[in-house]
Amino acid sequence: MSAPTNLSYDIGDAVPLVYTISQAATVVLTVTDPDGVTSTPGTTQGVGPPATPGGPATVTYTANVPATKAGPWRATFVATGTVTDTEEQIFIVRRPVAADIYCTIGQILEQAGADADNLPEPLLRRAVQATSRAIDRATGRRFWPDLTPTIRLYRPRSHTSVITHDIATTTGLAVATDEAGNGTYSTIWAPSDYQLEPLDAAADGEPWWLIRAVGDRRFPVRDRRRATLQVTARFGWLTIPDDVNQAAILKATKLFKRRESPDGFASGMGEYGPVRISRYEDPDAWLLLGNVMRYSTPET
């Protein structure tokens, strides 16, 4: 008889279930999803390792179950015939990871050395969410891209360059200026009219955050109360840097483990309250984030 499985999966995964017994038998697998709906997937018989060194081979029954719903699932193998046995296996299916969070619940559990059983998942999710937004504030940027191009307006301080928000990709990028000062961005710039910087950003897996006018083009600099530059782009970062992911794991784990201290947060508390990352309270996380801090302010 095999040991019960207790693992976490994501929606869309094919969950591998394995049941091992000493002899071939009639085996029926019943799977119960988080809503209590049952199904009986077919199993495939195979050969397993000997139960004892030098002993006869065992028999395995396997199945791949699609993880379609978030929550706890139960798989029950029932063997009848030459062998009579029942085994229950539990696995957890997690909700899809949001694009705007910088670590997963599984990474927190691994860092904390905790088991997924009977842990307050809402508290874990709040720790991840609060940590991700604290990282945004600490670094002055966000490490996920807009799903589609969005419009932002800028007030150039120079005729030749303008500091923008992080631009994740050139796909869908458009630059236009208001030459007449009437709020209409009718002058469309060609890609040859401007240059994105830092020049090596794409090679380093980082975004661009400065547009430099080249050739005969110049940014209109007029009344500082009116924005004269319109940029359409997918702003943010295309991928989460490893430093940000590790900093998020450290901070979110620290928040989560506060529930274990007398002055920490009680399980079920609605919010963590203000969360910040500082060089004094979180030196390791701060050190990691130092590599991706933004020190230039967009010209908005």
Instruction: Dump the DSSP string for 75-121.
Output: EEEEEESSS-EEEEEEEEEEPPPPTT-SS-HHHHHHHHT--STT--H
292: alpha, beta or left, given left = phi > 0 and alpha = psi -120 to 50?
alpha
Mean pLDDT of 110-120: 67
User: In the structure encoding, which two tokens stand for residue 266, read together?
Assistant: 């009680």
Q: How far is CA 116 from CA 36, 92, 213, 252, in A?
A: 20, 8, 53, 16
pTM above 0.75, yes or no: no
Burial class (CB in 10 A: 0-12, 13-18, 19+), 41: middle
Helix axis angle for 242-257 and 105-112, nearest 10°, is: 60
Q: For residue range 171-195, list pLDDT tens digits in order.
A: 999 999 999 989 999 999 999 999 9
Residue range 4-57, pLDDT digits in tens: 445 678 888 899 999 999 999 999 999 999 989 999 999 999 998 887 887 888
Nearest to 231 by CA among 290, 289, 146: 146
Closest C-alpha to 43, from 53, 29, 59: 29
pLDDT at 274: 63
Q: How high is the mean pLDDT of the chain?
A: 87
Owner of token pair 């208001």: 178
Q: Compute the distance between CA of residue 185 and CA of residue 175 in angstroms, rounded to an integer.
A: 9
**CB 59: neighbour CB atoms within 10 A?**
20
> Where is 166: in which H helix or E strand?
strand 161-177
Task: State the pLDDT confidence band at 105, using cuts at 50, 70 and 90.
Answer: confident
Q: How many angstroms separate the CA atoms of 31 and 43, rounded?
A: 12
Give residue 114's pLDDT. 64
Is pLDDT at 245 greater than 70 in this prediction? yes
Peptide bond between residue 198 and the one before it cis (omega within 30 degrees of 0): yes
Q: What per-residue string of b and e applies to 69-78 under the rule 16 or more CB within 10 Å gives b?
A: ebeebebbbb
Task: Say if residue 267's pLDDT is above 50.
Answer: no
Q: How far is CA 127 from CA 16, 174, 297, in A?
A: 30, 37, 28
Distance CA 148, CA 131 (A): 25
How many whole angstroms separate alpha carbon 118 and alpha carbon 103? Answer: 20
More confident residue, 274 or 159: 159
